[in-house]
Structures are given as C-alpha cells and as structure tokens.
C-alpha cells in the first residue's frame, strides 16, 4: 500500500521538499536545490552543476535502444539542464553501475554515447566511478558555466512576458507510444525516444537575449510550465491555436486516434527549452512564441497549477511521474 | 562464465582503461580519469571533481547500518577523494535511486547523514536527482578546490621520498569481519565499518607540506600503494616492523586467529590518506612514516605491483575488488 510514509507516497518532489527544508544556508550555494542546476561558488567562480540518473527498466530498455543511444540520452539530460540555465557544459562525471555479467562492450559503447553527446557542446567526460549493481544505473553529473551571463532561473518570469519554446515537443512521447505497442517505425519518432536532440545553443542565446526564466522540458510542457509558474508566482497561459503539428506526429496520432497536441503538452524527455522573455524581444535562437505570462490572482489556491492552456486550467501532474509504480 | 567480454572479466580498472583510452584531449581537463579526482578548468578556476557510487547489498546493508551512517559513508568517499588531492570540498551533488516502497524517512535520514558528513568539512549538499530504482543507489559527486595549492596527484612520488599515512588502517575490515560473523561489537570496530572517519584535514596539510603524491586508501593500503607505484613508476617499500597495532584490532584479530597487520595492509574503506613526502620533511597533520620510495629496476615486469612489504613483494590485487562476484 502506498502511503505518505513511502517514496511512492511522497513522490519525487515531496521527498526533495523534505530534504531541502532542512538544509542550512551556505553563502557559496548561489542557487540551491529546486532549479535545473545548482550554482556553486567554488575556487572563485560560479559553477553550474546538475545530476541526472537513468535506471534500466525505468528510463531505458536495452532491447529498445542501443548502448550508444542510452549513453547519449543520459548525457543529454545534464547538458540540457545546464543549457536551460543559459550555460554551457564543460565536463561530465559519470557514476556507472552494472551487473558483473554485463558485456564490457555494452559499457564501453554506452560511454562512447556519453562522450559523443558531450562533444556536441564541446564538453568532455572527465571522470567517474564504476561499481557492480544488480541493475544498470547511469548517474551523470554535469559541470558548466554561464559564460558571463547570470544564470537564468525558474523564478524570474514576470507578468506580460512572452512564453516561448525551442526544440521538439511530443516526439519522445510519440516514439514511446509506438515502441510500447510493438512498432519500430516511423524511425524519426522512435529515435526521438531513444535519444533526444535538445536545442543546446538556444540556452545561451536566451540568456543573452534577456530571458527572464527558463527550464528544460523533461517532465512535459505543462508540468514544467507549472514549475516556472510556482517559482515565479505567475500564471503561464499557453495558446495552442497557432501550433504547427509536425507531419510525423500528426500521422502517428491519427493512427492511434489521439490528439497530437496532447503529446506536445504532456510528453517529456525531448528536452526542449521553455523560456519567458520580456514582451517586445525579437525571438531567435530557435524560439517560437506559445503564450503569455499572466498575473496570479490574489487568493488563488496555492495548489493551482498556474498553467492555462487555451483558456482552460491544466494540472501540472500530467507529465512524467517518478515513483508512480508501487 | 566470466570472460573478458563481461565486466566480471575486465574488472573495474580494465573497463576504466578501455573507456579512457578513447577520450580526446581537452586542455580544460587539467587532470583526467585515473586519479582520485579529476581537475577541470571551469568558469576560470580549477575545480576538483570526484564521484562515488554506493549500491545496497554491495556496499552497505540496511540491517547492519542506519540510514544516517550510510549517508555519512556515501559522502565520506567523495570528501576523502578531494582531501587526497590536497583539496577541500565545497559542495556535493547526490543522485539517489530507491524502490517506491522505501520509507521516505529512510531517504530523508540518509540525506541527513550526507549533509552531516559534508558539514564536517564545511561543504554543502547543493542538488541532485531522485529516481525510482529496484535497488537503493547513492551516487555522490563532490566539487572542491585545492585552495591555492597544486593538486597532489598519484604520479609524483620520487625515489628517496618517505611514505606516510594518516588515519585508520584495517578498522573497517575488522568491523566487516565481525558483522559478517554475526557480532555487533566491539562497537568501535563495527562503527568503523558503518562509517569511516577519514582524516580530511590531513589532505590540505600534506599539500602545504610538499607531499609529492597522495591517494585515499579505499581499496586497501597495498592496493592503493600499488596505484601510486604504477602512476609514479617507483616501488613503494612499506615496513611494518615499527607499527603499533591498536588494542581494538589486536583483540579482534586474536579472537579470529588472524594477523591484524593483514587487515591494516589489505582492508579498504577506512579512507586513510597515503602520501609520499621529500625525505627530511617534518611530518605533522596526523601522518606517520611507514616506508620509503625505492627505484623500480630497469626491466621490471610491468605487471609487478611495485609494492614491497617488509622486503617481500605483495600483489596490489589483495584489496577490495569490484565485479568480483559473477
């Protein structure tokens, strides 16, 4: 039975909340837990640092994805976190756990995938740890820097800002839906589940253009917009009426009799970048406008998601959930 | 069957060797894989970074250790790695995986242990990731700095240097031997297995005193001395004749009819610091002399361990082994 006394009951965010509540204030922790990255004053500089853990069976399947693809995806999660602060990753550190009978070639190829993805932003694999574990576990920590810009947090969105997104929405969700039903094509969607193609360069572009808030879409557009809404105490109003639905998504959605916009609104793992900009900014860097930041009315129930889609409030719980299986 | 084609066959170091062989040279990676920490030039500074992964059943048992002790031990591994470069840890990032039915209180207490151990050196928990996993996995990444000193590597030992150690040897091994046979006392030894008490301050002391090489003893004194021997191309000659065997170790060893010096030579997980210093340095910082660095003779078989104890060569494989269970 799942109760609040287990991780299933508290969930990822409940646990993180309980953990972070007790942390002492350290002036060197410029940004603590709760954003895409922490920002740490170390050796006289501000270092962006983030950690993402992938577990076999939970986040990937070896029969669906190659070792290289799984490595790329593991790295992408951290690289996208750093991009979503407006930063660029310098190095990755990997904690790798695997059963003793894991093919060594699999581990080597997985690492090659991590190195390949990292090198796409000029980052290096700098170290790590290798241990025996009953399940393949890949823990990637990214270290980066904001290159002279202040890191873009989740908490800076202001009423009147435009909401914009760069990168794919819903592709990984469509790919997962296909794989779950035994399909191995269309290739573009299946590959989108296997490894994301985050718009890394859009992050520093947004920071330079004055983005007021930013997050990487790993839990789903609505869920991650809700994170900005909560941190910034605003309402994120998203308008899908002008959306162009990519042909690939449209076809797959038709076959499954679903609305492709739902994949785009709730599908995570594509690692698009969601940002807010002051009204009037000329968008570039791959960003397209998807909405407007509205005021959160006085007396709003604090449990409201803060996300409105086409005028209707949507719950932030519709994206990816951790500890959802008891 | 274990073959070279599996991780059991290659082992931890074989895998790391295969992985690191293919890494491109990046001038920002000041020290790459193969030492206790990597050193990364990020945001204009040199950052020490290290990662250690603990897996339930492999590195700890919940019936032997409290959540707080396991958290302390997880943190200690990274804090000791940074100390062994002569550095001090600034922040920790934790990737935490656990089954959904794990008591939330266990996770919170484990984190409290991490925070407690970190705070003993003035470091903070700055962020992390929480995921569902079939096995409790704690991946700790430490970030630190060498405070104006050059990081002390494994590769700097020179012929004629004195070999010295600070901190406990063999205590965790004795504690594990007791627990494995159903004993829960003596408390001091059992606790030594549950969480180490590394001599963190000895690391920066050694760096300031001109240590030529240093490593933290996590695999065992002989195994870790062999790492210095190999990296520095020297022979580490250890002399146990003058050793004072602590009363606690002596008693437990007598009960088990073993030589306590073997625990001290091969037991890991105490996270003592093993260093070499130029001859003539006045030792402090908790260090005691245990040997001398000798020349590695021309034509030495490259597979020789490079470690001599009381005049007899000892294999570096006698310490803790990863992937040893097929």
Q: Scan residues 111-170 of B and list those with Cβ closer than 8 Å to A.
A: 111-112, 115, 119, 124-135, 137, 139, 141, 143-146
Asked if B126 and A24 count as a contact pair (C-beta separation under 8 A), the reply is no
Q: Residue A72: pLDDT above 50?
A: yes
Q: Judge whether B143 and A143 are in contact, CB under 8 Å.
A: yes
Residue A37 clears pLDDT 80, i.e. is over it: yes
Domain extent listing, chain B: 7-145, 162-318
Q: Among A32, A30, A34, A77, which residue's Cα sits nearest to residue A227?
A: A34
Task: Determine the 3-state secondary structure of A254 from DSSP.
Answer: helix
pLDDT (tens digit per residue) in A150-159: 999 999 999 9
Query: What is the least distance, in Å, from the CA of A310 to any CA of chain B?
Result: 32
Q: CA-to-CA distance for B256 and B248, rounded, in angstroms?
A: 13
Residue range A114-118: average pLDDT?
97
pLDDT over 60 (residue A320): no
| Cβ(B267)–Cβ(B191) below 8 Å | no
The span from the CA of A251 to the CA of A258, in Å, is 10
pLDDT for the residue A216 = 96
pLDDT recorded at residue B318 = 59
Q: What is the pLDDT of residue B322?
A: 56
Check residue B77 and give left, alpha or beta (phi > 0: left; psi -120 to 50: alpha): alpha
Q: pLDDT band for position A15 (50/70/90)?
A: confident
Could B22 and A51 be called an inter-chain contact, meaning their C-beta atoms sit closer than 8 Å? no
pLDDT of residue A303: 47
Which chain A residues touch B113 with a CB distance below 8 Å?
Answer: none
Cα-Cα-Cα-Cα torsion A160, A161, A163, A166, nearest 10 degrees, comes to 160
Mean pLDDT of the region A169-187: 93
Interface subset of A 23-52, CB within 8 angstroms of B: 23-24, 26, 28-29, 32-33, 37-38, 40-47, 49-52
Burial of B200 (0-12, 13-18, 19+ CB in 10 A): buried
For residue A45, list chain B residues with Cβ-Cβ distance below 8 A.
Answer: 42-45, 47
Cβ neighbours of A115 in B, within 8 Å:
22-24
Residues from chain B contacting residue A41 (CB–CB below 8 Å): 90
The pair of structure tokens assigned to B86 is 């002569």
The hierarchical CATH code for the domain A7-145 is 3.30.1330.10
Minimum CA–CA partner of B125 in chain A: A23
Q: How many CB atoms lie within 10 A of CB B155?
A: 17
Average pLDDT over residues A40-44: 86
Residue of B nearest to A90 (CA): B42
| CA distance to A204, B108, B120, B196, per residue, from B90 (Å) | 26, 21, 11, 20
**Span A124-154, pLDDT tens digits:** 999 999 999 999 999 999 999 988 789 999 9
Architecture of domain A162-318: Alpha-Beta Complex (3.90)
pLDDT score recorded for residue B326: 30
Q: Write down the mean pLDDT value for chain A.
A: 91
Contact B26 A107 (CB under 8 A): no
ipTM (interface pTM) = 0.90
So what's the pLDDT on residue A17?
A: 84
**C-beta separation of A135 from B134 below 8 A:** yes
Residue found under tokens 């299933």? A8
Does residue A7 sit at the B interface (CB-CB below 8 Å)? Answer: yes
Size of interface A-B (CB pairs under 8 A): 300
Q: What residues contact A162, with CB distance under 8 A and at least 6 apart?
A: A276, A277, A278, A279, A281, A283, A289, A291, A292, A293
Nearest to B51 by CA among A134, A183, A155, A125: A125
Q: Do domains B7-145 and B162-318 have the same CATH topology?
A: no
Q: What is the pTM of this model?
A: 0.92
Question: Is residue A200 within 8 Å of A77, Cβ to Cβ?
Answer: no
CB–CB contact A51 B93 (8 Å): yes
Mean pLDDT of A308-324: 74
Distances (CA, A) of A163 to A216, A265, B7: 13, 14, 47
Residue with tokens 């266990």, as numbered in its chain: B106
Radius of gyration of chain B, Cα coordinates, nearest whole angstrom: 19
Q: Is the pLDDT of residue A42 over 90?
A: no
A24 confidence band (pLDDT: 50, 70, 90): confident
- Closest CA of chain B from A218, distance in Å: 13
Q: What DSSP designation does A317 have? A: G
Contact A133 B137 (CB under 8 A): yes
Preferred mutation among B91, B105, B123, B322 to probe A, highest tally of A CBs within 10 A: B91
pLDDT at B325: 37
Contact assessment for residue B133 and residue B98, using Cβ atoms and an 8 Å cutoff: yes
Tokens of B97: 């995986």
CB contact under 8 A, B135 and A135: yes
Closest Cα in chain A to B143: A42
- Best of A5, A22, A34, A49 to mutate (most B CBs within 10 Å, chain B): A49
- Residue A84: which of A171, A173, A194, A166 has the closest Cα? A166
pLDDT at residue A293 is higher than 50: yes
Ranges in chain B, pLDDT < 50: 1-2, 302-303, 324-326
Q: How far apart are alpha carbons B205 and B74 in whole angstroms? A: 23
The two three-digit tokens of residue B87, written as one number: 């550095």
Per the listing, tokens 């008591």 go with: B103
Q: What is the pLDDT of residue A318?
A: 59
Region label for A238, one of left (φ > 0), alpha (ψ between -120 and 50) or beta (otherwise): beta
Handedness of CA B314, B319, B322, B326 (dihedral sign): positive
């Amino acid at each position: 039975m799942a109760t609040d006394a287990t991780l299933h009951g508290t969930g990822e965010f409940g646990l993180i909340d309980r953990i972070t509540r007790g942390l002492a204030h350290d002036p060197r922790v410029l940004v603590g837990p709760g954003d895409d990255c922490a920002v740490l004053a170390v050796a006289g500089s501000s270092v962006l640092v983030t950690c993402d853990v992938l577990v076999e069976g939970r986040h990937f399947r070896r029969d669906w994805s190659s070792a290289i693809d799984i490595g790329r995806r593991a790295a992408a999660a951290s690289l996208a976190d750093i991009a979503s602060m407006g930063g660029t990753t310098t190095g990755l550190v990997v904690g790798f756990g695997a059963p003793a009978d894991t093919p060594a070639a699999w581990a080597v190829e997985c690492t090659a995938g991590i190195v390949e993805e990292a090198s796409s932003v000029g980052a290096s694999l700098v170290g790590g740890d290798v241990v025996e574990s009953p399940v393949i576990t890949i823990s990637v920590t990214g270290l980066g820097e904001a290159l002279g810009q202040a890191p873009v947090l989740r908490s800076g969105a202001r009423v009147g800002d435009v909401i914009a997104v760069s990168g794919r929405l819903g592709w990984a969700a469509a790919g997962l839906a296909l794989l779950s039903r035994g399909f191995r094509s269309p290739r573009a969607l299946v590959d989108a589940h296997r490894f994301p193609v985050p718009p890394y360069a859009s992050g520093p572009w947004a920071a330079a253009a004055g983005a007021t808030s930013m997050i990487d879409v790993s839990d789903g557009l609505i869920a991650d917009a809700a994170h900005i809404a909560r941190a910034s105490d605003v309402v994120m109003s998203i308008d899908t009426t002008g959306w162009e639905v990519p042909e690939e998504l449209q076809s797959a959605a038709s076959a499954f009799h679903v609305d492709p916009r739902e994949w785009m609104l709730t599908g995570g793992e594509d690692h698009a970048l969601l940002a807010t900009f002051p009204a009037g900014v000329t968008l570039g860097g791959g960003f397209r406008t998807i909405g407007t930041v509205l005021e959160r009315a006085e007396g709003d129930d604090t449990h409201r998601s803060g996300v409105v889609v086409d005028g209707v409030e949507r719950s932030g719980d519709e994206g990816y959930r951790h500890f959802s299986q008891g």
